[in-house]
Amino acid sequence: MKFSHSSMVSRIYTLSVSLALCSVLSCPAAAFAMHPLITDDAGTIGAGKYQLEVNGEYGHEKEDGVTTEKTQGAMILSYGLNESIDLIVSLPYLHVRATDDTTVMTDNGFSDTSLEVKWRLYEHDDWSLAIKPGLTLPTGYDEAGFGAGKASYRLFSIISKEMNPWAFHLNLGYIRNENTLNAEKDIWHASIASTFAVTDNLKAVANLGVESNRDELANSDPAFFLAGLIYTLSKDLDLDCGIKYGLNASETDYTVLAGMTWRF
């Protein structure tokens, strides 16, 4: 069977929306880590304190003559229930554009809401351990491809080691990715990150990770490498930027990230 350019764009576009949405909804580390890192740290924000993150990213991929551009924004609000427990809520927004030589297809919309709890269970010397259960609520419009249509859940473990000026973080997680998008439901995640304090106000960050492919027909799992910077403008305000590269064909070719974190 032969497909026209527009038919191919439509099929790839539909797959791109579905997989991009699954990625947004099921990977809490991408939204809630110390941006631009994907890997989270075991730290909490403190009793009675709030933290607001406004993050954005642009992903670019070219496959079979079709260029797919994915732009994602998210607002994440965290509240310190006590010194070791944070409550976190996130609402992402997604825009997808697919083009070939003759056809352009675009769509955008708010995605499903995510709720998480980060609980720091252990802290001794320079080591800390946290767990992070989460729930995604099907608040997005699934008929348009911007909601999973079902609630999903997940559990991540986080190990951090501080060795000033270095810090290292390891995440291992499982995601039960319930959805109506014919995407993989059992997702495993592993990633490691490092930060280095270049100055009192500037940190260099690096990140490496792999996660189960949400495309049931894929024969490899997406793997990435990320590098970036975090600049502390004041004690309550951070600015960040980074770039993430796909290490295989299953990962987006490259993604540019930027964000702001405000503590109050």
Q: Please give the backbone phi and psi of residue 39, each rounded to the nearest 5 degrees, phi first.
A: -75, 130
Do residues 67 and 75 lie in contact, with contact meaning Cβ atoms separated by under 8 Å?
no
- For residue 87, give both structure tokens: 């409550």
- The gap between the terminal CA atoms of the chain, to the nearest Å, is 59
Distances (CA, A) of 144 to 34, 139, 194, 210: 31, 12, 38, 28
b or e along 179-217 (b: 16 or more beta carbons within 10 Å of the residue's beta carbon)? bebebbbebebbbebbbeeeeeeebebbbbbbbbbbbee
Distance CA(195)–CA(207), nearest Å, equals 9
Do residues 193 and 43 lie in contact, with contact meaning Cβ atoms separated by under 8 Å?
no
Give tens-digit pLDDT for 88-144. 999 999 888 888 877 888 888 888 999 999 999 999 999 999 999 999 999 887 766
Give tens-digit pLDDT for 199-235. 999 999 999 999 999 888 888 999 999 999 999 999 9
Find, among 108, 111, 113, 78, the residue nearest to 96 by Cα: 108
CATH architecture of 5-263: Beta Barrel (2.40)
Q: Is 38 helix (H, G, I), strand (E, B) or coil?
A: coil
Distance CA(116)–CA(113), nearest Å, equals 10
Give tens-digit pLDDT for 22-69. 454 444 444 457 899 999 999 999 999 999 999 999 999 988 778 889
110 Cβ contact partners less than 8 Å away, ≥ 6 residues apart: 91, 92, 93, 94, 139, 140, 141, 146
Say if pTM beats, i.e. exceeds, 0.85. Answer: yes
Return mean pLDDT, the chain.
88
